[in-house]
Structures are given as structure tokens and as C-alpha cells.
Amino acid sequence: MTSKIKYESVEIGDSLPTVTIENVARPDFVRYAGASGDFVPLHYDQTFVEAAGIPTVFAQGMWTAGCLSRCLTDYAGAGNVRHFKVRFARQVWPGDTLTCRGKVTGKNEKGGEKLIEGEVEVANQKGEAAVRGNFAVVAG
Amino acid sequence: MAIDKSVIGKTGKPFTVPIEWSKVREFARAIRDPNPVYFDSELAKKECGGIPVPPTFLQVAAFWQDADSMPTVHFDIRRILHGEQEFELYKPILVGDLLTGTARIADVYEREGGRGGKMTFMVTEIEYRNQKGEKVAVARSTLIETGQAVGG
């Protein structure tokens, strides 16, 4: 798979393409439940969440991580991601607007591949981090 | 309640995951990814040698695992948090591949939390091989059971 990036021209501190997710809505969580098989009711069942003392349904962490993964595939091309790790910091709620962004923190040749490493983050409209992660993608 | 450390290393029965185009399209739409390589097979063939999968696509394994292939500890569903998720992707995974996954409990431990009270962590690893026997991926998840409800 041809990478969209050239190892020699990547510099530490380079930004990845930013992805904006406007107006997070309950159908996003329902759609992701169906797509992924994550049917934990916290993400779509209002009656269930209220009984658990939670004001409303919230996003599957992996839905948000999936939105974030677009920064990597837009940057290096699908199939060129070698490592993606995410940590979930806070819930994403209906009505949120998310900004997914990242930057390059390292370059590394490993196992015959030229790897670009970096950090990514999803922030909500208040600037609070919802998901933080790190990654490695293959460069050409 | 004391945690049961004896479950560490417990391995599930191998399970298969056929990589299907309709599922890839559905998944890409769900994460609002319009990348044409998931939707246009000719373009995907030219650019990737086949239709690739999004980096977090192996989450769909949930559809293919059953109780025997998913070693777990009992958590209260109202108090579960997904703490971390990690994918190591060694080789491209393409539509038409047939993967075999094997899950194991890598770790179980407790930690004192903040407002959530005492928390129990379970780390599960699933190793995937393709139809040629090549190791293509490892998916590692950390689930947390908090002391009280997770939202708000």
C-alpha cells in the first residue's frame, strides 16, 4: 500500500489533517452500535441510563476513537497505520462538536519500515480532551 | 470484594472473523469517514490492493465472539468504563480475508479511584492471524469497573 507521506519530508512537529465532527447526535451512537456490535445500553437506552443516575446517553469511546482514526488515514492513507492507542478521558455527549487533530513527535526505522510516530487528541467545543492517543504510520 | 487473579492468562476458543465489504462500509459510515477507498472497489484495488479496513475496525469481532471465545470477569454493566484501546497492525487487512482471533486475559488489577471509588481493571488481548497464518493484528482493551455509576 502506497503511503501518502514521504519519510524524508516529514518533520517533528508537523500537524496531521484536522477532522471536525459537527453536532454529535444520538443516531451516531445507534449507528455505531450496529456497525461495531457494541450494544452496551449506556449509549442508546435513555431509560437504562436514567436508572443508573446518568443524565443522558453518551458516545461509545470507540466511536470517538474511530472519528479520530481519520486523522491517521487521511494523513498516511488507509492500510498504513501500524499502531493506534487511545485513552478515554471524558464522555462525549449529544450536541458536542469535536475537533480531532494530531502532530508528529518522532521518526523511526523499524523492521524494514519507515515509521512516523505522534500524538492525537479529540477535544470538545469547550476545548476539553475526550480522547488522547498515540500512533505510528508507515511513510514511503 | 477481592479480585480473582487466577483468570489471568485464561484463553478463549479461537473464533473466525470474515472481513466483509458491507460491514466495512457500514463501519466507515458510522465513524463519518467518507474516504472513497471504503466505498469504491476499483479505486481501493488501485491504491491498496483491495478494500482496506479502518484502523479500529476489529471492534466488529464482538459479532463473532461467543461466551467460549471471550474470556472475561463479571463486571456490572452500569459501572463499566472503557479505559484504553490499542491496535498493533502488522499487515494490511483486506475485504475477503478470513481472520482467526484468539483472546486472552492479559491482566486483572485493582486501583483506588477518585470520585468513582475502588476500580477494577481487566486487560484483554486478541491476536489475529489471516488465512495464510500471518499475524496481522493485536487488539488490546482495558475495561474498568468503577465503584459507582459512570456518567454525569
Write down all domains in chain A, each with its CATH number in brackets. 7-139 (3.10.129.10)
Percent of chain A residues past pLDDT 70, beyond the cut: 100
Q: Which residue in the set B31, B80, B92 is minimally distant from A67, CB to CB?
A: B31
DSSP result, B72-130: -----GGGEEEEEEEEEE-S--BTT-EEEEEEEEEEEEEEE-STT-EEEEEEEEEEEE-
Query: Which chain B residue has its CA at the smallest distance from A136's CA?
Result: B88
Please determine, for residue A84, whether its predicted confidence score (pLDDT) is greater than 50. yes
Give the separation between CA A60 and CA B97, rounded to whole angstroms: 27
Mean pLDDT rounded to a whole number for chain A: 96
CB spacing of A35 vs B56 below 8 angstroms: no
Please determine, for residue A66, whether its predicted confidence score (pLDDT) is greater than 60. yes
- Chain B residues with beta carbon closer than 8 angstroms to that of A35: 23, 26-27, 29-31, 60
CB spacing of A35 vs B150 below 8 angstroms: no
Chain B: nearest CA to A13, how far in angstroms?
Answer: 23
Indicate the SS3 state at residue A83: strand
- Inter-axis angle of helices A26-36 and A61-76, nearest 10: 80
Query: Which chain B residue has its CA at the smallest distance from A132's CA?
Result: B84
Going by pLDDT thresholds of 50, 70 and 90, the confidence category of residue B148 is confident
Q: Which residue in the set B26, B49, B62 is minimally distant from A38, CB to CB?
A: B62
Give the separation between CA B87 and CA B73, rounded to whole angstroms: 22
CB spacing of A34 vs B89 below 8 angstroms: no
- For B10-35, the pLDDT digits (tens) are 999 999 999 999 999 999 999 999 99
Query: Which chain B residue has its CA at the smallest distance from A58's CA?
Result: B151
Average pLDDT over residues A55-59: 97
Task: Output the furthest CA–CA distance in chain B (Å, rounded).
Answer: 56
Percent of chain B residues past pLDDT 70, beyond the cut: 94
Please determine, for residue B46, whether its predicted confidence score (pLDDT) is greater than 60. yes
Task: Break chain B into its structural domains and give their ranges.
Answer: 5-145
Average pLDDT over residues B109-116: 79
Q: What is the pLDDT of residue A61?
A: 96
Q: Which residue in the set A1, A69, A74 is minimally distant from B56, CB to CB?
A: A69
* Selected residue with higher pLDDT from B149 and B18: B18
H or E element in which residue A66 lies: helix A61-76
| DSSP character at residue B150 | -
CB spacing of A62 vs B90 below 8 angstroms: no
φ, ψ of residue A130 in degrees (nearest 5): -100, -40
Q: Which residue in the set B38, B59, B78 is minimally distant from A52, CB to CB?
A: B78
Give the separation between CA A52 and CA A39, rounded to whole angstroms: 16
Its ipTM equals: 0.96
Going by pLDDT thresholds of 50, 70 and 90, the confidence category of residue B113 is confident
- For A14-29, the pLDDT digits (tens) are 999 999 999 999 999 9
Chain B: nearest CA to A57, how far in angstroms?
Answer: 9
Give the separation between CA A12 and CA B92, rounded to whole angstroms: 26
- Chain B residues with beta carbon closer than 8 angstroms to that of A81: 55, 87, 89
φ, ψ of residue B99 in degrees (nearest 5): -95, 150
Pick from A43-47, B37-41, B49-53, B73-77: least confident:
B73-77
- Chain B residues with beta carbon closer than 8 angstroms to that of A36: 27, 30, 59-60, 62
Percent of chain A residues past pLDDT 90, beyond the cut: 94
* Selected residue with higher pLDDT from A111 and B151: A111
Chain B: nearest CA to A12, how far in angstroms?
Answer: 22
**Fold held by B5-145:** Thiol Ester Dehydrase; Chain A (3.10.129)
The answer to whether residue B36 neighbours chain A at the CB level (below 8 Å) is no
Going by pLDDT thresholds of 50, 70 and 90, the confidence category of residue B149 is low
